[in-house]
Structure 1
Amino acid sequence: MRVLAFSLLSMLALALPAAAEQPEEIFDRACGTCHFKQRDPARRDEMIAPPMDMMAAHLRQVTGPERAVFVARVLDFIKAPAEAKAVDAMAVQRFGLMPPIGDTFPELTDGQLNAVANWIFDRFATAQVPPQGQQRGRMAP
């Protein structure tokens, strides 16, 4: 009886889906291939996209503190990037526009993208754009 119960439990465990990927893991796998999480002037030459903390800070300046507005703006931009939608002209000048997320990571679902956008909202809630004198420093194009 024990062997049968153990066998059934083992089969059930194999049939269950793996734990869902967490938003930060999705960010690391997809977004993190280009975006550093934090601004790091010492790594300026390694950057191929703006750091996410600065993107979130610039975005909050435009959207304000409302989560729904922030998340909607992130989703709109990553699905169909356009210069007119960008919140940091200097980043566009330096790095160009990112490709639509679906072109690079077509396997990502709307639910996963939404989870990552919400994670960005929470994770970088206190990120701030550096004062004007520091903005241009070593991070400028």
Structure 2
Amino acid sequence: MNGTANIAVGDKLSTYSSAGIGAKATAGKGGVFAIALEAYTNSDSSGVIDAILFEPGRFDSTAGGNTLDSSYDQGGQGVGRTITVDTNAVVLAGDEATENIFEITNTAGTGALIALTHTTTPYCLNPEGSTPRLVETPLTHPMTKVDRGWVEP
């Protein structure tokens, strides 16, 4: 065991930097493989404690999931940038009456803020409270604003 971080009864244990040594599971450690049945406070790596071992799996002690920003960079910068929608549409729902539901901020570059690509025609933007407007492909002007009313490009 590595006791540089005190281990209490019930703490989850994961691998330490050296093979065969366990440590208290914290952010950045490998998957949890045991639960401590006794405390350990020594700061050496030769101690032994009783623990419940179980089938190794991928469980991070920082459970709670990623933020969208963390997911975007999971596995490298921008690796998680694509969301494949293969069953149902993505829905952003909010009940905050005083805040926007969706905001996009772009402070760099000269590219379009939103690029729409569709394999069939027409595109359809359906602003709330108005008749749906169809835009035939291809779009030749960048979209500058989508609001409760229709804004021509």
What TM-score does the superposition give when structure 1 sets the normalisation length?
0.19
- Structure number with the bigger relative contact order (C-alpha 8 A, sep ≥ 6) is 1
More strand by share: 2
What TM-score does the superposition give when structure 2 sets the normalisation length?
0.18
More helix by share: 1
